[in-house]
Every structure is written in C-alpha cells, then in structure tokens.
C-alpha cells in the first residue's frame, strides 16, 4: 500500500477521466495507492479542497499559501488558523521560500514563512515546506523560528545531502517525487540512498513532475508507485519494505483520522 503524500487533486485535468475524480482515485487504488494528501497552494483553494475531502474518506488536505502565490501581499494569520481547524486539514502548507520564480527583496516571503511556522506550532499540525534556490535561508529560518518544535516534511526534495541532513536534524522528513527517477538527478539519487527509511516519504506533486516512464506527461497519483519502485532498486531494498515504511511514516507524521 502506498500514500501519495503530496498531490494537487483540484488541479488535475479530468477530461481523460470523464470529469470524475473518483476514476482518478480508482486508478490509483489499482496501483496500490490508498491515501492522499491534497495540498493547498492558495487560501482560496480551501473550499474546493474541503469539498474533495468531504467526498472521499481517504483524501486529506492542508491549508497554506505557496511562497510564489500573491507575491508581496499581506498575509492574514487568522484566516489560516480558521481554515486549519477543519478536521481533514492535517498539515500547514505548502509554505517555504522560492527565490527561483521571484525576484527582488524577499522579506515578504520570509515573513509569510514565519507566520506559517507560527500557525503550525499553535495548531499542532506539521509543516509542508517548499524550497527552491533558497536552501540556506530556508534552513536558517527553520532554525530561528524553531520549526523543529512541530516538524514536518521537505516536500519534493531536490537539494544536496548537507541540506537534507540539516532538515532531518530539525525533525523533518524528506519526500521524494518523480524527479528522483530522472537520469540527470544524480546528486538527488545519492541523497535518496542516504536518507533513513524511517524518515522518508513519497509523493507525486501531481499534475506536475511525472516520473519515468511518464516524464513529460500529466502526472496522477497512481504514478507514486513508480517513485517507490525506483527507490527500492536504488537502495537495494524490497518494494514491500519501501511501501510499508513510507506509509507508516505518513501516518506517524500527519496522524490523519480514518473515522468517517
């Protein structure tokens, strides 16, 4: 059994699935994927994500504002706290720092990241952290804002082992997406060999970043099985071991309730 620990179900093109998300999840189930964390990108996503989570017992959601969304705008912590009170919200994010797609003074991103960390600690829900071209500042803020007090996951990890080690030391898990299957991801594959299995998650980040053999095509939750298969071969471990560990890790970190 697998968990897609980071996907954007509300962003999928459902045209090939007769417009029905149920068929996407049925396809995933046929590939052994049983649980899903549908991650917010903007606060405006919340009503749609709640609708999805209410419809599907095995779909959980987050609340947060991606570092590239609404650049420079003021951020209202009270709205995030209110959204995160929903019982299917099991994480805060995705949040973090992304200097790759933003330019100029980045204090607004840093301030927003700090508010997310504060909210996570107040709500006692783990963080989903996105970092791109900002690894030093991301780790520094995680340290200064004491993100280790709540923990979380470095989603779609693409950085080096030193960054991974610092995140692990701060009580964070490392999540691998389809990027780890790419032929040119040599440094990332080295990280994937070193991360302790008890601190590893897998994800699709769908509809983006489809793994080999589907690279360049729209990604779907079923393809998280390819990430698991690649990691098993890379690490010389059984597929069952990867599946069991990453599923256990998901439940230990996010503590989702399976009650109706």
Count other Cβ atoms within 10 Å, centred on residue 19.
Answer: 9
Domain boundaries, the chain: 2-254
pLDDT at position 260 is 45
pLDDT at position 132 is 96
Question: For the packed helices 135-144 and 161-169, what is the interaxial angle rounded to 10 degrees?
Answer: 10
CATH match of 2-254 with 3.20.20.140? yes
Q: How far apart are CA 112 and CA 207, in angstroms?
A: 25
Count other Cβ atoms within 10 Å, centred on residue 140.
Answer: 14
Long-range contacts of 132-137 (CB under 8 A, 24+ apart): 132/97, 132/98, 132/99, 132/100, 132/101, 132/158, 133/98, 133/99, 133/100, 134/96, 134/97, 134/98, 134/99, 134/100, 134/106, 135/159, 135/160, 135/163, 137/97, 137/99, 137/106, 137/110
pLDDT at position 74 is 76
pLDDT in tens, 96-125: 999 998 777 799 999 999 999 999 999 999
Question: For the packed helices 224-235 and 239-254, what is the interaxial angle rounded to 10 degrees?
Answer: 120
Greatest Cα pair distance in the chain: 48
pLDDT at position 102 is 74
pLDDT in tens, 68-84: 998 887 788 999 999 99
What parts of the chain have a pLDDT lower than 70? 259-260
Q: How far apart are CA 133 and CA 15, in angstroms?
A: 34
Identify the three-state secondary structure at position 103.
Answer: coil
pLDDT at position 255 is 97
Q: How far apart are CA 179 and CA 201, in angstroms?
A: 14
CB 191 within 8 A of CB 174: yes
Identify the three-state secondary structure at position 47.
Answer: helix
pLDDT at position 73 is 78
Q: Which residues pair with 95 in a beta bridge?
A: 129
pLDDT at position 105 is 79
């Amino acid at each position: 059994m697998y968990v897609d620990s980071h996907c954007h179900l509300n962003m999928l093109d459902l045209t090939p699935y007769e417009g029905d998300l149920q068929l996407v999840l049925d396809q995933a189930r046929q590939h052994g994927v049983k649980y899903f964390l549908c991650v917010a990108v903007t606060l405006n996503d919340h009503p749609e994500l709640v609708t999805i989570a209410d419809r599907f017992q095995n779909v959980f959601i987050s609340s947060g504002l991606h570092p590239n969304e609404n650049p420079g705008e003021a951020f209202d912590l009270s709205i995030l706290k209110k959204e995160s009170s929903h019982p299917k919200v099991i994480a805060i994010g995705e949040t973090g720092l992304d200097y790759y797609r933003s330019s100029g003074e980045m204090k607004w991103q840093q301030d927003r990241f700090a508010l997310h960390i504060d909210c996570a600690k107040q709500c006692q829900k783990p963080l989903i952290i996105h970092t791109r071209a900002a690894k030093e500042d991301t780790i520094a803020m995680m340290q200064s804002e004491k993100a280790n007090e709540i923990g979380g996951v470095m989603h779609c990890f693409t950085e080096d082992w030193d960054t991974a080690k610092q995140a692990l030391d701060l009580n964070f898990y490392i999540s691998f997406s389809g990027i780890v299957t790419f032929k040119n991801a040599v440094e990332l594959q080295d990280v994937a060999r070193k991360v302790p299995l008890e601190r590893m998650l897998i994800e699709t980040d769908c509809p983006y970043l489809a793994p080999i053999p589907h690279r360049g095509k729209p990604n779907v939750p079923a393809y998280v099985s390819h990430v698991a298969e690649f990691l098993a071969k890379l690490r010389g471990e059984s597929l069952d071991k990867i599946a069991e560990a990453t599923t256990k890790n998901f439940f230990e970190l996010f503590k989702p309730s399976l009650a109706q």
